[in-house]
């Protein structure tokens, strides 16, 4: 590995860690926002409002995790890693899709 390649791989590793850490922070902030909404909101809608808030955070976290996985695969593009990325991308995309659908249905009810 030459110097430039080593630098790119090191940068990619650092970026992957940043995206993964950001994802964890987003979920943590989402959990805090969820709890805050439960206590701040009054009435029967409080759970629905809190779930919508948390759902938005989860969507962002899923996207950050997918970005981290793409960066990881970009530096080690073996067939096995590409297959893992494809499986992870499909699972996260389905999770994201159904989460967005659920949020839209919740918003339509209000």
Checking phi first, is residue 42 left (phi over 0); if not, alpha (psi -120 to 50) or beta? beta
Kindly indicate the confidence band of residue 32, based on its pLDDT and cuts at 50, 70 and 90: very high
Q: In this model, does residue 1 exceed pLDDT 70?
A: no
- Count the neighbouring beta carbons within 10 Å of the beta carbon of residue 78: 9
Q: Distance between CA 34 and CA 67 in Å, rounded?
A: 24
Q: In this model, does residue 35 exceed pLDDT 80?
A: yes
Token pair 């981290």 in the structure block, residue: 68
Q: In this model, does residue 22 exceed pLDDT 70?
A: yes
Task: Report domain extents, the chain.
Answer: 3-109
Kindly indicate the confidence band of residue 46, based on its pLDDT and cuts at 50, 70 and 90: confident
DSSP 45: T
Query: In the numeric block, which tokens belong to residue 61?
Result: 């976290």
Q: Which residues contact 5 (CB under 8 A, 6 or more apart)?
A: none
């Amino acid at each position: 590995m030459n110097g430039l390649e080593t630098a790119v791989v090191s940068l990619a590793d650092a970026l992957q860690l940043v995206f993964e850490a950001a994802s964890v922070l987003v979920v943590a902030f989402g959990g805090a926002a969820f709890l805050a909404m439960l206590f701040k909101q009054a009435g029967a809608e409080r759970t629905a409002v809190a779930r919508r808030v948390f759902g938005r955070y989860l969507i962002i976290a899923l996207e950050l995790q997918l970005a981290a996985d793409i960066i990881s695969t970009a530096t080690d593009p073996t067939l096995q890693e590409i297959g893992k990325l494809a499986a992870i991308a499909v699972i996260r995309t389905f999770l994201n899709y159904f989460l967005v659908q659920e949020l839209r249905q919740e918003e339509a009810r209000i």
